[in-house]
Amino acid sequence: MSNEQTLYNQLLALDGRGYKAYQDIKGSYQFQDFILIIDHVQSDPFASPSKIILKIPAFVAQFPPSLYQSPSRTLGLEDYLIRQFDQVARQISSHRGTGKSGLIAIVSVGQEILKRTAAFVREGNLEIRFFVGLPARGRTILGRQAAQMLCEDIPEIVDRALKYSALNPEALRKQVETVEDADWLRQELGKRGLVEFVANGSILPRRSGVDARPLETEAIPFQSPKSLEVSFNCPNRGLIEGMGIPQGITLIVGGGYHGKSTLLRALELGVYNHIPEDGREFVISEPTGVKIRAEDGRSIVGVNISPFINQLPQGRSTDNFSTTNASGSTSQAANIIEALEVGAKVLFIDEDTAATNFMIRDRRMQQLISKEKEPITPLIDKIRQLYTDYGVSTILVMGGSGDYFEVADTVITMNNFQPEEVTKQAKLIAQQHLNERLWEGGDTFGKITPRMPLSESIDPSRGHKAVKVKVRDVDEVGFGTEEIDLTAVEQIVETGQLRAIAAALIYAKNTYMKGQCTLSKILDKVMADIASEGLDCISEFPQGDLVFFRRFELAAALNRLRSLKVSL
């Protein structure tokens, strides 16, 4: 292996040469404190930046074993290191020429703590993967600047971000303990018959629709109603109290602008862990909760939506339903069935993003439009069977109609951003003011039909290029010649999740979509591989920008692939 000095001299010697000459620096270099691996060199200053891997031995990094003694703690530490790296890299990386010249960057993160391929801690040894824009003016190598970046800036980042002695031990301890407590709470929920926990004192509102950090001033901390209050004894934090939402059907009501959607959004994201100071680090959800919304225009392939939709005009079948342009109600029905197909046990629905005709159908409308002329069986007539037949709970924000009072197990009202439990009042009102609706739900929810995706319908190639996947922000994957629109998949929070989902689609196709295998089985296998081998198993080469996703989001991407074909 060459050393630091060799790399330095080599970079100086490259000064003034054409950009392609950078390819020569690919390789491993022993620095004083670490090994630097130049894994991939970009082809020009505008191309995706070059990939660098750092390996820092435990005796240099010096993290106490208590920070990585459990998987939860390791995850907390890895996430912390990424954030530290990001912070220091932003301070010292500067623009040094054309295109991405001078960039030193690690995968971008938000408020969530997720497993990522940018940082690994194994028995105290660190592996950090990041990106560097090798500097040039036009296409001429700026060798001196490159030498500075790789041989001075990177060691500085290691000193300031990746060694225990440089970090705030209190903050670090809090981070790993928070992750461990949150993971523990998530496992406890089921044992108590709960689907949600919201700690007292949680801060739910965000700074803005585009800034997920907590609202700083004027945020009213969450306080559980007494009747729903539960407490846990966490491994690190000890006693924690807050609101527990039981399994079953929960209705969140209240006036407009009183914090209903904000609460639901926090619950939706409670499937993930959050950094301390987020305000939602102890908002904990059952891990299989899926947000459901209307999504008109999406494609649907071979889904049995007959529990909700029947007798379409022109006699179209709904037990094997496909469309390239779904309506609001049909898309919402498909979103539910697809989530059930792959194992969702909690559904989150907000009236703000639901199709009205999917949610309710009142007595007057039943009278004017008879059941035979309305293909849609509204959710209100199916929501109970969802729970009794399949054990699926629903948490529903519904401020605009009291029709759900009858079917709810728990009714929570948000009043000035504070929850109160009003189940009894709601039930009483339902008795006093009969809505006289006719039951339309039938005897059972209906069958959930498993589908088998056909491997040949998943094609990431484009022209002569074998695999072409491109990710734009958090809402779109370019997959071969297609664009998969994931705008409506609201539990995708980081761009790296999309990259990983795209990689996982290809992995699933190549590894498990052979013969007759249901989507759910395929997901079992892919997720099991990721759990045992790590996210690296889904990509051919080590990537630094893949982020953990759930089976539900992977299924969501596949379900929105317009070329998809399935057999039943």
Binding site for ligand ADP (CB under 6 A): 204-205, 215, 218-220, 254, 256-262, 414, 417
Q: Which does 159 bind (CB under 5 to 8 A by kind): Mg ion, ligand ADP, none?
A: none
Shortest gap between Cβ of 265 and ligand ADP (angstroms)? 7
Record the tokens describing residue 530, joined without a space. Answer: 């990721």
Determine the 3-state secondary structure of 116 from DSSP: strand
Q: Which does 47 bind (CB under 5 to 8 A by kind): Mg ion, ligand ADP, none?
A: none
Which stretch, 69-77, 80-88, 300-308, 350-358, contacts Mg ion (CB under 5 A)?
350-358
Is residue 352 a contact residue for Mg ion (CB under 5 A)?
yes
**H/E segment holding residue 289:** strand 289-292
Q: For the window 255-274, what string marks contact with Mg ion as x by the rule CB under 5 A? A: -----xx-------------
Q: Which does 417 bind (CB under 5 to 8 A by kind): ligand ADP, Mg ion, none?
A: ligand ADP
Determine the 3-state secondary structure of 23 from DSSP: helix
**H/E segment holding residue 412:** strand 410-415
Considering beta carbons, is residue 220 or 466 the nearer one to ligand ADP? Answer: 220
Is residue 423 a contact residue for Mg ion (CB under 5 A)?
no
Shortest gap between Cβ of 521 and ligand ADP (angstroms)? 38
Residues 6+ away with beta carbon under 8 Å from 496: 107, 108, 116, 545, 546, 547
Q: Which does 216 bind (CB under 5 to 8 A by kind): Mg ion, ligand ADP, none?
A: none
Using the structure block, give the residue that is written with the tokens 């519904």: 398
Shortest gap between Cβ of 222 and ligand ADP (angstroms)? 7
Determine the 3-state secondary structure of 51 from DSSP: strand
**H/E segment holding residue 508:** helix 495-511
Shortest gap between Cβ of 505 and Mg ion (angstroms)? 33
Count, residues near Mg ion per rule CB under 5 A: 3
Considering beta carbons, is residue 352 or 456 the nearer one to ligand ADP? Answer: 352
Task: Give CA–CA dist 200/183, Å, rounded.
Answer: 18
Angle at 87 between CA 86 and CA 90, to 5 degrees: 80
| Side-chain half-sphere exposure of 428, counting CA atoms within 13 A | 4
Shortest gap between Cβ of 472 and ligand ADP (angstroms)? 27
Considering beta carbons, is residue 136 or 203 the nearer one to ligand ADP? Answer: 203
Considering beta carbons, is residue 140 or 413 the nearer one to ligand ADP? Answer: 413
Task: Give CA–CA dist 334/312, Å, rounded.
Answer: 15
Task: Give CA–CA dist 145/12, Å, rounded.
Answer: 9
Q: For the window 458-497, what string marks contact with Mg ion as x by the rule CB under 5 A? A: ----------------------------------------
Is residue 145 a contact residue for Mg ion (CB under 5 A)?
no
Strands 410-415 and 393-397 come out as: unpaired
Record the tokens describing residue 229, joined without a space. Answer: 């209050």
DSSP state of 474: T
Considering beta carbons, is residue 351 or 403 the nearer one to Mg ion? Answer: 351
Q: Which does 436 bind (CB under 5 to 8 A by kind): Mg ion, ligand ADP, none?
A: none
Q: Which does 220 bind (CB under 5 to 8 A by kind): Mg ion, ligand ADP, none?
A: ligand ADP
Considering beta carbons, is residue 222 or 512 the nearer one to Mg ion? Answer: 222
Considering beta carbons, is residue 79 or 490 the nearer one to Mg ion? Answer: 490
**H/E segment holding residue 529:** helix 519-533
Residues 6+ away with beta carbon under 8 Å from 547: 107, 114, 115, 116, 117, 494, 495, 496, 497, 499, 500, 535
Which stretch, 329-337, 346-354, 375-383, 454-462, contacts Mg ion (CB under 5 A)?
346-354
- Residue 84 φ/ψ region, left for φ over 0, alpha for ψ in the -120 to 50 degree band, beta for the rest: alpha
Considering beta carbons, is residue 205 or 307 the nearer one to ligand ADP? Answer: 205
Residues of this chain that interact with Mg ion (CB under 5 A) are: 260-261, 352
